[in-house]
């Protein structure tokens, strides 16, 4: 069974590479490390680090050394994080010892969540029905963005041959993102936030129009609903079935529903292009969940376009994991990767026994891999909870 621990390059550098590999193998019991290959800004508490207790990653950078030939003709290109020059290429080091340690690299790859690139290339970010830019979200309908994401994975897989490439944010990101000092004085309903998240940039409108979808009519409907929400003294739910009903909640708005149905097309297409450009020995999976449709991710279609899914089980109790994983396995078929993502944060995870129960449930329901989040963000004693869970699923007949 594929068992992996999510971590960042600075986590490994802070505790020391050799010690990290030994701990991953002997204490955690994993056989892969899902290392962030490209990442966004943040502010992270670092309880595991002997050097610091918080860290601000450099925004929108990559943690490997790109092949200059791949990027020579690209409009959008990656920037190597300063950390690589300071501490070395951790992906290369994991790759170099995979045979000796039994720990293979996997690549945790953030695709379109990139504020640095969005600010540098505003013509390629998602935009609301009013044309307002979301600088943190590159648009999957943009040819330049697609070339960037495809080149990123091609570069990684042909250089390091990761066992699995985990595609994070290959679709349309939500308006409510937790951006720096984000403010909402209205009190957005889930439907209002979703309407503000729908991209109507020039790339999307043009591509939808070419597919026979009236994007301008959909934009007018979205603008009218957003404007009405902005004019209310207090929030009022207009679509009681949202988000449980999904796109069907907007059934009375024909143009918008057609546009939302089309919206999955550029996301599925991007995933297909990424898979085609990647090294064939690296499995490509999309990080998603039951609400993936909100980002234009059709779980069945994207799984068919690549090697499978990594499904977030973060906030689920053991009894909730079984039906979700069952449904995902039935959707994507028996031969695809289905990795369950488990988070070891408190208070959602309170003990090793609880984490073990979730891991066993995920495996029994059809997961052929598990990822644990996150090595550097949790206190040292919780590493034993991960070890307990990993050894339990490995020891099962």
- CA 34 – CA 259 distance, rounded (Å): 35
> Which pair of tokens denotes residue 356?
């073990």
Contact 318, 358 (CB under 8 A): yes
Contact 297, 173 (CB under 8 A): no
- The number of CA neighbours under 13 Å toward the Cβ of 78 is 34
CA angle 314, 318, 323 (to 5 degrees): 90
What does the DSSP assignment read for 111-132? Answer: -SB-HHHHHH-GGGEEE-TT--
Q: State the burial class of residue 73 (Cβ atoms within 10 Å of its Cβ: 0-12, 13-18, 19+).
A: exposed
CB atoms within 10 A of CB 323: 11
> Which pair of tokens denotes residue 69?
């030939």
What residue ranges define each of the domains in the chain, with the CATH number in brackets? 2-172+264-395 (3.20.20.80), 176-262 (no CATH)
Contacts of 312 by beta carbon, 8 Å cutoff, 6+ apart: 287, 288, 289, 341
Question: Angle 202-210/264-277 helices, nearest 10 degrees?
Answer: 90
> Which pair of tokens denotes residue 223?
């603008």
- CA 383 – CA 226 distance, rounded (Å): 46
- Reading the chain (397 residues) residue by residue, the pLDDT tens digits are 999 999 999 999 999 999 999 999 999 999 999 999 999 999 999 999 999 999 999 999 999 999 999 999 999 999 999 999 999 999 999 999 999 999 999 999 999 999 999 999 999 999 999 999 999 999 999 999 999 999 999 999 999 999 999 999 999 999 987 677 788 899 999 999 999 999 999 999 999 999 999 999 999 999 999 999 999 999 999 999 999 999 999 999 999 999 999 999 999 999 999 999 999 999 999 999 999 999 999 999 999 999 999 999 999 999 999 999 999 999 999 999 999 999 999 999 999 999 999 999 999 999 999 999 999 999 999 999 999 999 999 977 5
Residue in the block written with tokens 């550098």: 13
- CA 214 – CA 326 distance, rounded (Å): 37
- Whole-model pTM: value is 0.97
Contacts of 77 by beta carbon, 8 Å cutoff, 6+ apart: 66, 71, 148
The H or E element that residue 11 is part of is helix 9-15
Residue in the block written with tokens 């028996």: 334
Look up residue 8 and give its DSSP letter.
-
């Amino acid at each position: 069974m594929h068992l992996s621990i999510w971590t960042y390059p600075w986590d490994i550098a802070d505790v020391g590479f050799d010690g990290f590999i030994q701990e991953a193998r002997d204490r955690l019991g994993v056989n892969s490390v899902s290392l962030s290959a490209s990442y966004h800004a943040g502010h992270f508490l670092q309880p595991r680090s002997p050097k610091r207790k918080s860290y601000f990653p450099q925004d929108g950078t990559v943690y490997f050394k790109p092949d200059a030939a791949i990027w020579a003709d690209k409009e959008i290109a990656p920037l190597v994080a300063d950390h690589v020059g300071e501490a070395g290429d951790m992906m290369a080091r994991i790759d170099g010892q995979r045979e000796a340690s039994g720990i293979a690299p996997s690549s945790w790859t953030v695709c379109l969540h990139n504020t640095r690139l969005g600010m540098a290339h505003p013509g390629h970010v998602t935009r609301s029905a009013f044309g307002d830019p979301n600088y943190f979200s590159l648009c999957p309908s943009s040819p330049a963005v697609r070339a960037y994401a495809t080149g990123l994975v091609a570069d990684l897989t042909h250089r390091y041959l990761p066992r699995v490439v985990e595609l994070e944010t290959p679709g349309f990101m939500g308006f409510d993102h937790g951006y720096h000092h984000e403010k909402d004085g209205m009190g957005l309903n889930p439907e209002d936030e979703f309407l503000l998240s729908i991209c109507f940039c020039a790339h999307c409108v043009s591509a939808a129009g070419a597919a026979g979808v009236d994007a301008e009519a959909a934009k007018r409907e979205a603008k009218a609903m957003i404007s009405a929400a902005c004019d209310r003294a207090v929030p009022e739910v207009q679509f009681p079935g949202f988000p449980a009903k999904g796109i069907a909640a907007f059934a009375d708005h024909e143009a918008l529903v057609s546009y939302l149905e089309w919206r999955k097309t550029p996301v599925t297409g991007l995933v297909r292009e990424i898979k085609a450009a990647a090294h064939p020995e690296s499995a490509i999976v999309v990080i998603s969940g039951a609400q993936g449709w909100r980002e234009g991710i059709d779980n069945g279609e994207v799984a068919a376009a690549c090697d499978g899914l990594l499904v977030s089980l973060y906030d689920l109790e053991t009894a909730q994991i079984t039906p979700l994983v069952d449904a995902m396995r039935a959707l994507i078929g028996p031969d695809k990767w289905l990795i369950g993502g488990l988070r070891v944060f408190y208070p959602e995870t309170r003990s090793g026994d609880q984490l073990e129960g979730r891991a066993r449930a995920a495996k029994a329901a059809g997961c052929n891999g598990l990822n644990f989040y996150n090595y550097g963000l949790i206190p040292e004693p919780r590493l034993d909870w991960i070890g307990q869970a990993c050894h339990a699923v490995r020891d099962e007949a």
